[in-house]
Amino acid sequence: MAIMTNPTSSWADGPLLAFDLETTGTDTGTDRIVTGTLISIVPGREPQVRTWLADPGVEIPAEAAEVHGISTDHAREHGRPAAEVAAEIAEALTDTWHPTRPLCVFNAPFDLSLLDSELRRHHGGSWR
């Protein structure tokens, strides 16, 4: 029996998840999450956007702040504890990402590895 597919349909037609992290740097083993964004895109509906601001617990280097615009002082004043943020991001990804919903990430190996490192650092285990 042949499986029929719609040749005019594409994975990009949705639903999709978009995910991004901004961090203190580019080392997945030592750098920290500063912000996270998860956008659920379902055709015909308004996108659902979740954002997080973390106090990474370390200084945000000037080079990183130039990229994402978040200073150490701003993160400390307005951010939430990094352990809470990492856990909530992982929970949101787990709840919304599944095989029929592609996850779109600009630099997936970096963002997902850094999230995993944060979960190991704060919670003693990895994401998946």
Provide the CATH number for the domain around residue 92: 3.30.420.10
The answer to whether residue 4 is domain-embedded is no
The answer to whether residue 60 is domain-embedded is yes
Give the total number of structural domains in the chain.
1
Phi–psi pair at 21, nearest 5 degrees: -120, 145
Residue 14 pLDDT grade (very low, low, confident, very high; cuts 50, 70, 90): confident
How far apart (Å, rounded) are the C-alpha atoms in residues 38 and 100?
17
Which of 84, 67, 53 lies closest to 25, judged by CA?
67
pLDDT reported for residue 2: 46
The torsion of the CA quartet 29, 33, 60, 28, rounded to 10 degrees, works out to 20
The answer to whether residue 101 is domain-embedded is yes
The answer to whether residue 95 is domain-embedded is yes
The answer to whether residue 32 is domain-embedded is yes
Residue 98 pLDDT grade (very low, low, confident, very high; cuts 50, 70, 90): confident
The answer to whether residue 2 is domain-embedded is no
The torsion of the CA quartet 23, 29, 93, 53, rounded to 10 degrees, works out to -30
Tens of pLDDT, residue by residue over 48-65, are: 999 999 999 999 999 999
3-class secondary structure, 60: coil
Q: Tell me, what amino acid is at 23?
A: T
The pTM assigned to this predicted structure is 0.88
Residue 102 is part of which domain span? 14-123
The answer to whether residue 50 is domain-embedded is yes
